[in-house]
Amino acid sequence: STKDGVLAAESAESLLQSLEDNYDRYSASALDNTTDEGISWRLTPNVACYNFVLHAYAISRGGWNAAVAAQAILERMIQRCNKYATDMQNTSNASIDPPPPPPPEPSDRSFNCVINAWSKCRDIESGNRAEEIFRMMEEWDYDCQQHEGNKTPVGKYYNGVKPSVRSFSGAIDAWANSGAGVSSTDRVMAILDKMIEKRKEALVKALESDDSEEIAFCKPNVIVFNAAINAFAKSGRGIAGAEQAEEA
């Protein structure tokens, strides 16, 4: 039932918060060069812990509130990463040996779980919210990369993550499930165009660097196009929607 699904997700988040609290105490004691006998560095969350909780909210059938809760967890992950980078930039912390390990950064699955939560929410705002998460992923990846030959503070500890094919199809599904009608098809086409553009950019980089990851990046597949066709079918545009689906 919906109630059981939400309760399970909330219980999982409660356990996650306990692990976060343990990490925060461990990190604080390491930075202060003190000992806290009540904690263990082994009991700290990894990215899988976060993804389990995010997935639990996505499949909980909790609607808007579940999607909001999932997004809040993702935002907290990024905030914790940024805080660590800022703390370690402090010159007084640079000499700590060993330093506390960095909190886990979100993976593509982390972002995709939240996009999926908004898709399953089936709210008029689902498409916009899913695209917001998509942009958040791009911003996080940008923050972690070198700029003008220099690593950003957060980029010293984290690699960033690029959108996957599932990220694009998830955003399209969110628009298909939003009930936004005609306006949803314009956004679906914009997402498809963006995916194709990123694919072209990746292929150019691959030719320049012979990078196998770039070659595989953002290669459109049948799942993406089926999601787009489904969105057009649900758009309420009748023949125009069918023609747009055929064009895609």
Kindly report the average pLDDT of the chain as a whole number. 84
Dihedral pair phi/psi, residue 151, rounded to 5°: -75, 135
Contacts of 135 (CB under 8 A, 6+ apart): none
Tens of pLDDT, residue by residue over 132-190, are: 999 999 999 999 987 656 667 888 899 999 898 899 999 999 998 888 777 788 888 89
Fill in the DSSP letter of residue 46: -
Structure tokens, 192: 């498809």
Whole-number percent of the chain with pLDDT over 70: 81
- Residues with Cβ within 8 Å of 212's Cβ and at least 6 positions away in sequence, in order, are 206
- Find how far residue 157's CA is from the centre of its chain: 18
Mean pLDDT is lowest, of 99-113, 139-153, 160-174, 201-215, for 201-215
Residue with tokens 């940024």: 82
CA distances to 4, 32, 108, 207 from 126, rounded to whole Å, are 23, 44, 19, 37
pLDDT for 27 equals 84
Contact 5, 61 (CB under 8 A): yes
**What CA–CA distance (Å, rounded) separates 140 from 114?**
15
pLDDT at 74: 98
For residues 5 and 123, what is the distance between their CA atoms, to the nearest angstrom?
19
Q: Do 22 and 39 contact (CB within 8 A), yes or no?
A: yes
DSSP state of 150: E
pLDDT band at 43 (very low <50, low <70, confident <90, very high): confident
Asked if residues 73 and 53 have their Cβ atoms less than 8 Å apart, the reply is yes
Question: Both tokens of residue 134?
Answer: 């998509």
Task: Read off the pLDDT of residues 229-246 as tens digits, 9 standing for 90 and up.
Answer: 888 887 665 445 445 545
Structure tokens at 1: 């039932």
Does 199 have pLDDT greater than 50? yes
- What does residue 40 show for φ and ψ, rounded to 5 degrees? -135, 130
CA distance 80 to 94: 18
Q: Where are the alpha helices (DSSP H) in 153-233?
A: 165-176, 182-209, 212-216, 222-233
Q: What is the pTM of this model?
A: 0.86
Q: Round to whole Å and give the CA distance between 9 and 66.
A: 9
Burial of 37 (0-12, 13-18, 19+ CB in 10 A): exposed
